[in-house]
Amino acid sequence: MLLAGASVLSGMPGDTPPQATPVEVPPGSEFDQSRDDDAASLPQLQDTPTPDAVPQVTAPEPDDLSSMDGADTTSSGQPETGQPEAALSAPETPEGETGVTVGTEEPVLPNPQAQAPEAPAGEDDLSISTEPAQPVVPEAEEDSAAFPAPQAGTEGTATPEADSDADPEANGETQAEAETDAATPEAEDEPVVDAPQAPAAPSAEAGEAAAEAAPEEAAPEETETEETETGTTGTIGDIAEGVTTNRLPTALDPAPDPEAEPEPAEAAAEDAVEEAEALPPVRRYAAEFENPENKPLMSIILIDDGTSPIGPAALADFPYPLSFAVDASRPDAAQTAATYRAAGMEVLAMVNLPQNAAASDAETSMSVLLDAVPEAVAVFEGTGTGLQSSREAAEQLAPILKDSGHGLVMFPNGLNTAQKLIAREGVPSATVFRDFDSNGQNASAVRRFLDQAAFRAGQEEGGVIMVGRLRPDTISALLLWGLQDRAASVALAPVSAVLTAE
């Protein structure tokens, strides 16, 4: 209460004005000097220029016609025309010779050789034969059969006793002649080719006499007779000179000696086959490729999943090498790969391992899928689950591919750890540089990607690999790009050349 009363009696603090206190100024600073109150000097006004007198313009004089007072303004008279003459008179004929000969016009006659076209006369007598003439049947001559007839002393049929007593060689010839005569058509139906007559077969009586006279010499004579008949019996003999016949082996030829040494050419061919079979598939089934100019390598792989209307036959004459990835899970994978191989192109087995596959799953799947594409040079990672969904399965690929001898082409994934680990184990492997038509790019975009790949190939040591699909736009882009200058800067090679490049 005391404080409240004191505050009321003391008044407000702001009522007392502030008091000014002198400020101590250091000597010599001239801070406290006052300014002299002199008269202000004002600027002088500029002299305004005086304008000169404005020039006066005189008004123009009005026009009048005073200048035309003496002019002749009358119109000229109308011109007068003469009257036309009633008739024209012929000119007078000059007297004497004028030196000018005037000829009369003669009509131009048509060329006698240019005759008017005439309609062809109809052919009244048309001779059309619907039955062509048949060839004349040659007359059958005596002794024109392929085999000579038996001699006069030989009977056509022999009794069983005579057959048993007769020479077995004669019986065999008689039966052969009978069968040949039965199978040969008659001479009236078909012409018979004249052939050199073979020696007459020995009769049964001659065989009996020979058997009674020399029974010990029967076997050698039979052998010689068989050889003679084998060489001379037939419809056409050895007529041409210098022609070797009967070069094929027969039952009478001696059996080849299995211990005999093969010829040098056969031995070299066998050695080449053995050497080719000893090579791994990445080299055994590789297409021929040469790079004499040592240009950067660039390989193009086209995926054939069976849905494209373009087949191997349409790409057989492609101007540069292409490699084809065939889906190993297709039922016709082996047949499709064989068609590409027959055209001289390389084939890859496109493989997709199961999601989160174990090492045992990878080994089982790879053994089946590699057999589905028997002549594949490498394994290509599929566009589905691929090969890198499981680390255990990816690590198991190294011993599998090293044992089979196949190469490996994988898509880039992070730092490409799986591909680097497999390559460290000695497996020829590489990573795809770009998939240039995965989103249905048109031909111009595909050519632009190929230009970038050709530029990148000059910077990479082993070359680059491009991947596409069997699409009409892609094939058109590849054909057009192959004609450009950028394509000439690289060597377009099969994929085996890039995988095995050192």
State which amino acid sits at residue 181. D
Using the structure block, give the residue that is written with the tokens 């007779």. 225
pLDDT of residue 441: 92
Output the furthest CA–CA distance in the chain (Å, rounded): 191
- What is the CA angle 24-26-29, rounded to 5? 125
Alpha-carbon distance values, 28 to 24, 31, 35, 36 (Å): 12, 8, 16, 19
User: What's the confidence (pLDDT) of residue 233?
Assistant: 45
- Cβ(144)–Cβ(185) below 8 Å: no
Report helix, strand or coil for 492.
Answer: strand
β-pairing, 323-327 vs 346-351, is: parallel
Q: How far, in Å, are 291, 295, 296, 485 from residue 455 at the CA level?
A: 18, 12, 9, 12
pLDDT at 20: 78
Report yes or no: 498 and 327 within 8 Å, Cβ to Cβ: no
Ordered mean pLDDT values, 10 residues apiece, the chain (502 residues): 69 69 73 72 78 76 77 79 73 71 68 64 57 65 52 45 44 46 43 44 44 45 46 46 57 61 65 76 93 94 90 88 94 93 94 90 91 94 90 90 94 91 93 93 93 92 93 93 92 95 78
Rounded Cα–Cα distance for residues 464 and 455 (Å):
10
Under a CB-based contact definition with an 8 Å cutoff, are residues 333 and 304 in contact? no
d(CA 429, CA 379): 9
